[in-house]
Amino acid sequence: MAPRCWPLYGLRITTPRLELRLPDEELLEELVAVAASGVHEADDMPFGVPWTDGGPEKRARTTFQHVLGTVAQWQPEKWTLSLAVLHEGEVVGRQDLTASDFAVTGEAHTGSWLGLAHQNRGIGTEMRAGVAHLAFQGLGARTLTSSAMTDNPRSLAVSRKLGYLPDGVELAAVRGAARTLQRLRLDRASWEAHRSVKVELHGLEPCRELFGVARTASA
Ligand SMILES: CC(C)(COP(=O)(O)OP(=O)(O)OC[C@H]1O[C@@H](n2cnc3c(N)ncnc32)[C@H](O)[C@@H]1OP(=O)(O)O)[C@@H](O)C(=O)NCCC(=O)NCCS
């Protein structure tokens, strides 16, 4: 897909093992297949919105609509960047970065998942470090937030490693039951102090307007 009218298709975040990019039609096909293959065990539900319920076909369609919906609904004042995560050229999961009034607050929120076969190999840490770099280094963020069920040790471990601090809890009704979410917060100083993944950004300048932030003076 030509990125001319939608420069976000030209944005790339690279880490030592990964590339994160807005999926074109071909990569979106791969991403929905990963979602269909499973993101967690059936008796588990790590998400506040249980989008993974309902079987492979429904997961595929939900993922397809989610990614295209983020493009269709994008506004500089309210956006979600929904990136496919590629490991050795293969799509393994999704990493989202969401913000409302980012130009004013400097705050964005992350959410992510990997296909079951790709979990617990450090990929989740590397992809979150990638979007944290985009937020802080690329877009000048002040804070990043995240949240995870209190019984999701992997997600909580990723946040802890990257320097997020606990920021209270909240309850959510999930599958008709009350679940506790741990809120997490990463400020710029803590991000700097915990940076350990080398990240590069490519193709960001033409996207700045869409993110609601000014172009850099040199661009
Ligand atoms: C959450 C998720 C994105 C994390 O990605 P990942 O690649 O699995 O995570 P990583 O391998 O980078 O890091 C996981 C860490 O958790 C630790 N961990 C794993 N199982 C653990 C357990 N049972 N108890 C404590 N720590 C645990 C690992 O040791 C690792 O820490 P380390 O690097 O210090 O050893 C991924 O597991 C996933 O997609 N899970 C299902 C969907 C999900 O939960 N999404 C997030 C919703 S908030």
Residues ≥6 apart with Cβ < 8 Å to 39: 52, 59, 113, 114, 115, 116
The tens digit of pLDDT for each residue in 21-39 reads 999 999 999 999 999 999 9
Position 4 scores a pLDDT of: 80
Per residue in 133-178, pLDDT tens?
A: 999 999 999 999 999 999 999 999 999 999 999 999 999 999 999 9
Distance of CA 87 to the CA centre of its chain: 15
* Residue 202, pLDDT score: 98
pLDDT in tens, 33-79: 999 999 999 999 999 999 999 999 999 999 999 999 999 999 999 99
Q: What are the sequence ranges of the domains in the chain?
A: 7-140+196-211
**What does the alpha-carbon distance between residue 109 and residue 56 come to, in Å, rounded to a whole number?**
27
Residue 83: burial class (beta carbons within 10 Å; 0-12, 13-18, 19+) = buried
Q: Quick one: pLDDT at residue 24?
A: 96
Q: Name which residue sits closest to atom 26 of ligand 1, judged by CA.
A: 153
Please work out whether the CB of residue 63 comes within 6 Å of at least one atom of ligand 1.
no
Residue 214, pLDDT score = 81
Assess whether the C-beta atom of 40 lies below 6 angstroms from ligand 1: yes
pLDDT at 213: 93
Task: Give 87-104 pLDDT, tens digit per residue.
Answer: 999 999 999 999 999 999
- Among protein residues, the one with the nearest Cα to ligand 1's atom 40 is 113
CA-nearest residue, atom 16 of ligand 1: 154
3 CA to centre of ligand 1 in angstroms:
33
pLDDT of residue 216: 64
Give the closest residue (by CA) to ligand 1 atom 12: 122
Angle between helices 123-133 and 153-162 (to 10 degrees): 50
pLDDT above 70: residue 217: no
- Return d(Cα 62, Cα 36) in angstroms, integer: 10
pLDDT in tens, 191-216: 999 999 999 999 999 999 999 998 66
Average pLDDT over residues 120-128: 98
User: What percentage of the chain has pLDDT greater than the value 70?
Assistant: 96
Is pTM, for the whole model, over 0.85?
Answer: yes
**Ligand 1 centroid from CA 102, angstroms:** 28
What number does CATH give the domain 7-140+196-211? Answer: 3.40.630.30
